[in-house]
Homo-oligomer: A and B are copies of this chain.
Amino acid sequence: MRNPLRLFPLAVSLLVPIGVAGQAPMRDSVLEGVRSWRIAHAHQIVRDLVDFLSLPNVATNQDDIWRNAEWMKEQMERRGIRVEVAPTTGSPVVYGELLVPGATRTLLFYCHYDGQAVDPSKWINSEPFQPVLRRGIAGDWSTIPFPAADQPYEDNWRLYARSASDDKSPIVALLAALDALRAQKLQPRVNLKFLFDGEEEQGSPYLDEFIQGNQARLQADVVIIADGPVHPSERPTVFFGNRGIMTFDITVHGPRVPLHSGHYGNWAPNPALHLAQLLATMKDSAGRVLVEDFYADVVPLSESERHAIAAIPNLDAQLMERHGFAEPEGTGQRLDELIQLPSLNIRGLSSAWVGEEARTIVPSTATAAIDVRLVKGTDHQRMFERIVTHIRRQGYYVTAQAPTDKERRKHSRIAQVVKREGYNAVRTPLDLPMAEVVASAVGGATGREVVKLPTLGGSGPSHLFERLGLPVIGVPIVNFDNNQHSPNENLRVGHFWHGIEIFAALFLVE
């Protein structure tokens, strides 16, 4: 069979009506076979995922991380994938290859097997590493037993566990997709490479070591980032890059130690007030960043990128209702447009105490934690320097350390500004041949119109691959409302099934 990707309409049960405009559904026996196989083997596939999710995977515990790596190695080797568990200075990279004789293309799949830190006290009626199945009725999710062997899984059920969606389920779906093809006596038509990162939630600090040391064998026609949620419309989604990120903290210094607000209030300078005044200079009331040249280097969207955005269903009103606010930032642009611009976000504030702990003092310091999301053209270091210049223009002496006595004596406004992480955005051109190949495969597997996001709002290590000259395309599979990074992370079962079908389709591209 030359082209197994001729699109058939899956009996999907998604949240929005099926959009099939421009993608005439067509029967395809291979994808039908994939579907039959995953229905017949649903219990085994979920059991594998539950096993994997039962292994704690917060990267600060390396013993845990290694158990995850060994689990994947065994699963991959069982399927004939050549695996290396490559130690780095941090978590190991699990790298696998399945080379297909005669294949002309190579797909490198990137996933991560570590998870965000957990706070078990915030998980409602379950533990992060003891996966449970839930059924939701009117927004109320109750735990149900895993179904008996002769009972089916329902698409709307959800599996609750840390990394259920971010990012272990894509790994299990990739392996299941391989099984599904082989059950039909088929092999992938492309070489497959798998790179499973063990420290993505920590910013992948050690991934570059591995990538730089393995440039030759990582060569591929495209890197598929199998991470992230699908678009809020719940349509199948392909994204063509990530925003970059730059994080920094500003700590404004006041008196050396907190002072009694009765004895010193009105006289001792208040760093919390000064910080508020400083932050207020950074954005206007519509949320536009006032730092000079903040938007200067943004590479404008191409025509095809603008068209892609225009074609995405506009869900802003529903999202505002869901998230409980009446007015977004911006001057009328929609969310999918705004994430194509750099952002400046106050992600945290802290000074002394609030609530029952509050004390009547003039605080000694006040800190804002800020993240700047970057887009194509905006460099993290240059952005940092522009922000520092802005802070200086507000009358601040800027230092990277706590101020010395001498500095305290000399400067009436002192800001300690510390850059944390920083890397740039990636935006793969939409008109690259591989872009169309991947999007068609995803559309074909699902029979639905694909959302094409020029840049995903979130950040990721795509830039490491771009540095090798590899185009990066994201194929997320998990539900958008998965509580990623938060307590009660979950995976909608139906999305998991579609993920298997999508990956099987990608294994068969030509």
Binding site for B on A (CB under 8 A): 242-243, 245, 247, 249, 254-270, 272-273, 275-277, 279-280, 282-283, 285, 287, 316, 321-330, 335, 338-339, 341, 343, 345-355, 357-363, 366-369, 371, 373, 403, 405, 408-412, 456-459, 484-486
Contact of A358 among B338, B348, B409 (CB under 8 A): B348
How far, in whole Å, are A486 and B243 apart by their CA atoms in the complex?
45
* Chain B: CB-nearest residue to A360: B371
Let me know if A324 and B256 touch, CB within 8 A. Answer: yes
Judge whether A327 and B457 touch: CB under 8 Å. Answer: no
Residues from chain B with Cβ under 8 Å of A268 in the complex: 323, 325, 328-329
CB distance from A455 to the nearest CB of B (A): 10
Q: Do B345 and A261 have beta carbons less than 8 Å apart?
A: yes
Q: Which residue of B has the minimal Cβ distance to A340?
A: B266
Residue of A259, A269, A360, A411 with highest tally of chain B CB at under 10 A:
A360
Interface contacts beyond A256-B323, A349-B366: sample of 18 additional A-B pairs, CB < 8 Å, sorted by A: A247-B358, A255-B325, A260-B457, A263-B339, A263-B457, A265-B345, A266-B329, A267-B338, A268-B323, A268-B325, A268-B329, A269-B325, A277-B280, A326-B412, A347-B361, A349-B351, A350-B354, A350-B355
A267-B330, A456-B262 known; A257-B323 Cβ under 8 A: yes
- Known interface pairs A351-B346, A358-B347. Does A329 touch B280 (Cβ–Cβ under 8 Å)? no
Closest Cβ–Cβ distance, residue A278 to chain B (whole Å): 8
Which 8 pairs, one residue from A and one from B, show the smallest C-beta to C-beta distance? A262-B458, A327-B412, A256-B324, A265-B343, A276-B279, A280-B280, A272-B346, A263-B457
CB distance from A12 to the nearest CB of B (A): 23
Q: How many Å lie between the Cα of A266 and that of B359 in the bound state? A: 34
CB atoms of A347 and B326 under 8 A apart: no
Contact A371–B277 (Cβ < 8 Å): no
Residue numbers in B under 8 Å from A408 (CB-CB): 324-326
User: Which of chain B's residues has its CB closest to A288's CB?
Assistant: B266
Contact of A262 among B273, B361, B373 (CB under 8 A): B373
Interfacial chain B residues near A264, Cβ < 8 Å: 323, 335, 457
Q: Is the CB of A346 within 8 A of B260?
A: no
A284 to B85, CA, bound (A): 59
Q: Please name all residues of chain B whose beta carbon is closer than 8 Å to the beta carbon of A321 when the two chains form the complex.
A: 409
**Contact, CB under 8 Å: B354 / A249:** yes
B348 touches A457 (CB 8 A): no
Contact: A261 with B329, CB < 8 Å? no
Complex partner residue of A371 from B256, B261, B341, B457, CB under 8 angstroms:
B261
Known: A249-B354, A268-B323. A263 touches B458 (CB 8 A): yes
Inside 8 A of A328's CB, which chain B residues have their CB? 267-269
Residue of B266, B282, B486 near A330 (CB, 8 A) is: B266
Q: Find the B residue at minimum CB distance from A322.
A: B256
Once bound together, how far apart are the Cα atoms of A484 and B326, in whole Å? 46
For the complex formed, measure the closest distance between the CB of A113 and the CB atoms of chain B, giving whole angstroms.
Answer: 20
**5 A–B contacts, CB within 8 A, in A order:** A263-B456, A268-B329, A325-B408, A347-B363, A349-B349
Are A249 and B355 in touch, CB under 8 angstroms? yes
Q: Is the CB of A346 within 8 A of B276?
A: yes
B266 near A287 with CB under 8 A, answer: yes
Q: Which residue of B lies closest to A349 (CB)?
A: B351
Tell me whether A280 and B269 are in contact in the complex, defined as CB-CB below 8 angstroms, given that A349-B351, A363-B348, A485-B359 are known contacts: no
> Contacts A255-B323, A459-B262: A350 and B350 contacting too (C-beta < 8 A)?
yes
Q: A501 CB to closest chain B CB, in angstroms?
A: 25
Q: How far is the CA of A266 from the CA of B243 in the complex (A)?
A: 12
What is the CA–CA distance of A275 and B279 in the complex, to the nearest angstrom?
A: 10
C-alpha spacing A501/B255, complex, angstroms: 35
The answer to whether B285 touches A341 (Cβ under 8 A) is no
Q: Which residues of B contact A249 (CB under 8 A)?
A: 354-355, 358
On whether the beta carbons of A276 and B280 are closer than 8 Å, the reply is yes
CB-defined contacts of A258 to chain B, threshold 8 Å:
486
Complex alpha-carbon distance, A408 and B346, angstroms: 21
Q: Residue of B at shortest CB range from A243? A: B262
CA distance A280 to B394 in the complex (A): 14
Chain B residues closer than 8 Å to A269, beta-carbon distance: 287, 325, 327-329
Supposing A265-B457, A324-B256 touch, asked if A360 and B329 sit within 8 A by C-beta, the answer is no
When C-beta atoms are compared, the residue in chain B nearest to A244 turns out to be: B262
Give complex CA distance A484, B354 in Å.
20
Considering the chains assembled together, what is the distance between the CA atoms of A285 and B321 in angstroms? 38
User: Which of chain B's residues have a CB closer than 8 A to the CB of A243?
Assistant: 262
